[in-house]
Amino acid sequence: MPHTASLTVLGAAESGPLNEYLPVLMLLLFSISFAALNIIVSWALGKRGQRNPDKDSAFECGLPPLESGRQRFSVKFYVVAMLFIIFDVEVVFLYPWAIVYQDLGWFAFFEMLLFLGVLFLGWAYVVRKGALDFSSRPQPGRIPGGPQR
Amino acid sequence: MNEFFAEYPLVFTMATTLAKIVLFTHIGLILAAYMPWVERKVSAWMQDRVGPNRVGYAGLGQPIADALKFIFKEDPVPGHVDKVLFTLAPALTVIPAILVLAVVPFAPAVSLFGQTAQMAIADLSVGILFVFAFSSLAVYGITLAGWASNSKYPLIGGVRSAAQMVSYELCLGLSVVGVFMAAQTLRLTDIVELQVDGYWNMFTQPIGFLVFVIAAFAETNRLPFDLPEAETELVAGYHTEYGSMKFAMFFAGEYMAMFVFSCLVAVLFMGGWDVPFMSNESFAALGNWGAALGFVAFLTKVLLFLFFYVWVRFTIPRFKFDQLMHLGWKVLIPLSLLNILWAGLWNMPS
């Protein structure tokens, strides 16, 4: 059996704390090389086409594109993103609690009932404010027949 | 061999890891390649048509023919796009989809050369957190594709996808809390082993199961939630400007994500590799044959769930965007909170 220096190092590294993540790193390298290979192969073997103005313009069902491709979009998408951050952080708080739930018993149950109650109140407030209403039905404050933004 | 691996366990770990990566990712990629064929065939059966039948027996060569055509077609990068992000976006959808496979346990542990090898690529103690960390990165790929394309339909598709995926990630995250409360761990292997000896989580937590399945459809942008690429209104959504292999990578990423979510449903709610009336002891008693049996059982569940994906696609029509947001925020979130309450009472130590 070969006792080379490098193999001894490999044997000793078994107890390292990051050893668990070595396979993840290997899979990461695999997936990156898979993605890169796809792009490179298609670039190298693909047919070389000729450029023309029509091909270089944004697709708009065969018509020349009007205005910029980067249009404005509804502010509601930003609201959804912000609400996501708030609620997602609260979900993260639930995880460690769930892991030790059976050790803590009824205490943990009522503590989290309180927490979820607050979370639910916040949710009800958001719903009542109409922050999640995406339908374009007429709403108070909106000019009838005006531009639907 | 046994002595060598006993002395250098890391060599054993590296070798088995490499083998597992090659095996599991290829199962995923081959399934991802053949799912479009399955989808076309199943839809044909459902609609009384023939489906693909030209390339090879029963059209089985179709995915290979498609892949070759993708490779040899022109790789278009239109002049108006942001070239770096345009190239990066398909990679960013496919990489997280493959990475999530790292923590999925495919079978009970196998013993080889006197060593034990877990049948997950990396059996992390933070399993589920890892899953959410990487599966949520997929939203970057789609949103960046929409933005980099510098065109109207992709932009709308990308923005919609961002809103949809973050909304349903919330339900996804909440619906699995009940599973942790039952299992007291985030490690997926332990969650499966608990279900092998006890009940499957889909029976003890039906609400959580329902919410998770619905959110899995939304997270993978599948019908009835495929608004980011709604053909009838957005041409092709976020990949309108894409062609050739880059387009194929979005496709591969989507089907890989479907495969991964099918695996997760099987692991978290359907008992993973469990076969009814088997316990951890009976699996251990069968040795490596037990692992093989578990592997077959697991793949069966995954394939059944993939079929369910296709079945739903050709059964339920697409949601409108306001209906989608309504379902995600106003129905599924209260339901998943209810599931936590249910799981709290069910798993109360007495």
Query: What is the tens place of the pLDDT at every residue in A65-101?
Result: 777 777 777 778 888 888 888 888 888 888 888 888 8
- A55: closest CA of chain B, how far (Å): 7
Give B-chain residues touching A90 at CB under 8 angstroms.
none
pLDDT along chain A (149 residues), means of 10: 44 55 89 91 83 78 75 81 87 87 83 87 85 65 48
Quick check: is A93 in a domain? yes
ipTM given for this complex = 0.86
Quick check: is A69 in a domain? no
- Mean pLDDT taken over chain A: 76
Q: Where are the domains of chain B?
A: 74-103+125-346
pLDDT of residue B266: 92
Distance CA B319, CA A5 (A): 62
The two three-digit tokens of residue A93, written as one number: 């708080």
Substitution target in B152, B161, B219 with the highest count of A β-carbons within 10 Å is: B152
- A36: closest CA of chain B, how far (Å): 7
B26 interfacial to chain A (CB closer than 8 Å): no
What is the domain extent for residue A101? Answer: 76-129
Quick check: is A121 in a domain? yes
Q: Which of A80, A129, A115 is nearest to B169 (CA)?
A: A80
A118 interfacial to chain B (CB closer than 8 Å): no
| pTM (2 d.p.) | 0.87
| Nearest-Cα residue of chain B relative to residue A97 | B181
Measured from the Cβ of residue B53, the count of other Cβ atoms closer than 10 Å reads 13
Quick check: is A26 in a domain? no
Distance CA A81, CA B143 (A): 13
Give B-chain residues touching A92 at CB under 8 angstroms.
173
Quick check: is A147 in a domain? no
Helices (H), chain A: 5-12, 22-45, 53-56, 76-99, 101-104, 106-129
pLDDT of residue B233: 76
Give B-chain residues touching A105 at CB under 8 angstroms.
348-349
pLDDT of residue A140: 55
Q: How far is CA A15 from the centre of its chain?
A: 34
The total of structural domains in chain A comes to 1
Chain A residues 48-87 with a CB less than 8 Å from chain B: 48-49, 51, 55-61, 65, 69-71, 73, 77, 80-81, 83-84, 87
Give B-chain residues touching A81 at CB under 8 angstroms.
162-163, 166
pLDDT digits (tens, 9 = 90+) for B179-231: 988 888 888 988 998 888 888 888 889 999 999 999 999 888 887 888 777 77
Quick check: is A137 in a domain? no
pLDDT digits (tens, 9 = 90+) for B155-184: 888 888 888 888 888 889 899 998 988 888
- Burial (Cβ within 10 Å: 0-12, 13-18, ≥19) of residue B60: middle
B116 interfacial to chain A (CB closer than 8 Å): no
